[in-house]
Chain A
Amino acid sequence: MTPTLEARSLVVMRDGAAVLNDVSFAIAPGEVFALLGGNGAGKSTTLLTFLGFLQPTAGDVLVAGRSVGDDVEAARAKIAYLPEAASLYGHLNAYENLGYFLDLAGRKVSRAALDAALDQVALPTEARQRRMQSYSKGMRQKTAIALALLRDTPILLLDEPTSGLDPVAIDEFHAMVQALAAAGRTVLMVTHDVYGACQVADRVGLLRGGRLVGSFAASDAGGRIDTETVHAAFAAREAA
């Protein structure tokens, strides 16, 4: 089966230094893959390379079996991207933000569908008509997640998706990601949150200094990745 997302011996250099160095992985359709790593490990760079915002110095990234460099806009059309900082317009309310970005993505969505997505991320109804500049970080994150859901794409790239969310919302988010994966969506998320990653991912990769230094699959551990194991491996790799 063709992997939905694949990195082949990926090298990305920035300012003369290798941010990603010979990174290879493949994510199957319906799989949730979480990349863990410290600051500067190359997690966000990996996502930006799949989006075509950064060019591989060597190697390649493929979306649905096709090199991103061949048709970057076609690749982006298959991807819903949730950036680390929920970047939406402060002068617009939630409906206006969603409507605008979905228009640009070529999706016409009814007000009812918008409300359904906003209900799903538990954004308070009374906040939806307010300009986003008055939102908390968590409310912004929820709106951005709603946008990613409404894009209705086969692939989700999530950069620190639970950042700013309260514990209840984090649990709800994880359940939502698993439901999406069960419906066939492929998810690549990068995070610092070892516990969250183990809870939601089918597979966890460890990035360190731009190299993929370890990988744990839930299928190898009876359906659930053991947090302690990953944590210990992660700590050991960091110490090395």
Chain B
Amino acid sequence: MSAMWRIAREEWRLWARSRVVLLAGLIIAVLIVVTSVLTALRVTAEAERRADRQASAEATFFAQPDRHPHRMVHYGHYAFRTPPPLAAFDPGVDAVTGQSIFLEGHRQNTAMFADTRAGADLGGCAALTPANIYQLLLPLLLIVIGHGVVLRERESGTLAVLLAQGQSGRAIAGGKALALAGIAGVFLLPLAGLALFTAARAEASQASAAAALVAGYGLYLAVWCALVLAVSLWVRQRSVALGLLVLIWLLVALIVPRVAINTASAMIDAPGKIESDLVMLSQQRKLGDGHNAADPAFDALQKQVLEQYEAQSVEELPINWRGVVAGYSEQKLTAMMNAFAEDRMRREASQSRIVTWFGLASPTLAIGAASRTLAGTDLATHHRFLRESEGLRFDFVQGLNDLHAKALTYADDAARSTDSAAEQRTRVNAASWRLLDAFRFAPDPAEVRAARALLPLMVLLGWLVVLGGAIGAGARRLRP
């Protein structure tokens, strides 16, 4: 171990005395710090703004005057997805999925206001996040610094001198691995700092997710260190090693992710929200118009309700037939919309799984999936936001429909457009709007996120094991 440590120390001394290495390291360090600070500031401000807007939307809803309950169904409400603390490191799908949803009766609206749309004004610079730096640029730095870690010794003849001092190839490879890991460790410090900052500000669950995130990136950088070392051990020329490593970087960091996305799209057709809305509209017409209580689509319901209340006509019912139709229609409509939404989300999740499996060919894809999941900014979290906000929408719409059915008489409701007194009586007390539940979206507990991130992390571990084998074999045959 002491020989490995000594070899690593010497490598660090070389890098510390190299202007190229120092400059490259400085550039990456500045990028990490700048993007971390800017992203953290942006996400923190965004989190506060969304929390404020959520409270404001609720206050506005509660402040509505006495109204007909169905007007409140259409008045609607907003649900905001507050970004989790670790979104400051990896905003994940937030950038493209939108952060808020307008909730109203009879519709499931699309999430709006994605970061990338707002970021377009900044020439796309908003897309440069600390996670991007760690996933894409740090491996490049490791390649630049480390491709000659063994080859430099071979080409300058010092490898023969090292071996002649009685050091085994394994000790030399171990020392070089330690040196590269040390560099990776230094660059993990800002992430660890961010994790500590998060831990200090958030609950314990967030802290353990942050620790898992640091460990995940440690594993990812270890994979790159191992790859760089393996190439330096097996290839005979520095120029070839550099070219090969850059080619691998292009493949795993840029090309394979693109191929993965295209393959997932080709294998599983996931029509977008707008496309599926158009298909849904044609089916929606078959369900009947919930605003028209006389729609033949509700004849069977009318018969059933009249039998239940032993009434001859809807006018004799102790409840408001219009409200009953509104509630029934909303239930049927929501079931259909949910079926479409679940199908769409299932397809998107399947696409996401295919992309994650491409991590077998690209550690960058694997860490991307693990990073988003641990940060609480993955597709599954977004889907949960959609489901929870839909639950909120359904509950408040059905709460209002219930009021419609129970607090209003059918006669007043039917006459309200022609009789101002009836119209007044169909207005329910504003205190009723309190039926709206407060909505606060929180990321999954750390253990749930860690369980979801296990697959991509295991893929990274597999990479490390394979590359470790290549290093071991290369070290055994290490000759000047």
Contacts and interface: CB of A to CB of B under 8 A. Distances in A.
A116 interface: no
Contacts of B168: 73
Interface stretch (A26-34, A80-88, A192-200, A232-240): A80-88
Contact of B166 (A54, A73, A88, A90): A73
Contact of A91 (B6, B17, B157): B17
B161 A87 contact: yes
A112 interface: no
Interface in B37-89: none
Interface residues of B, number: 22
A105 B161 CA distance: 10
Nearest to B164: A81
A177 interface: no
A100 B166 contact: no
Interface residues of A, number: 27
A236 to B, nearest CB: 34
B282 interface: no
Interface string B1-22: 0010011001001100110000
Task: Label chain B's interface by main secondary structure.
Answer: helix
Most chain B C-beta atoms within 10 Å of own C-beta, residue among A48, A73, A88, A89: A89
Contacts of B167: 104
B156 interface: yes
Contacts of B13: 91-92
B14 A51 contact: no
B158 interface: yes
B165 interface: yes
A226 B131 CA distance: 74
B411 interface: no
Interface string A15-56: 000000000000000000000000000000000100101100
Nearest to B9: A100
B163 A76 contact: yes
27 contacts: A48-B480, A51-B164, A53-B160, A53-B480, A73-B166, A76-B164, A76-B166, A77-B166, A80-B164, A81-B161, A83-B161, A83-B164, A85-B157, A87-B157, A87-B161, A88-B161, A89-B10, A90-B156, A91-B13, A91-B14, A91-B17, A100-B6, A100-B10, A105-B165, A105-B166, A106-B166, A147-B161
Given A104-B7, A106-B166, 13 more contacts: A53-B160, A76-B165, A79-B164, A80-B164, A81-B164, A83-B161, A87-B160, A88-B161, A101-B165, A102-B165, A104-B3, A105-B166, A151-B165
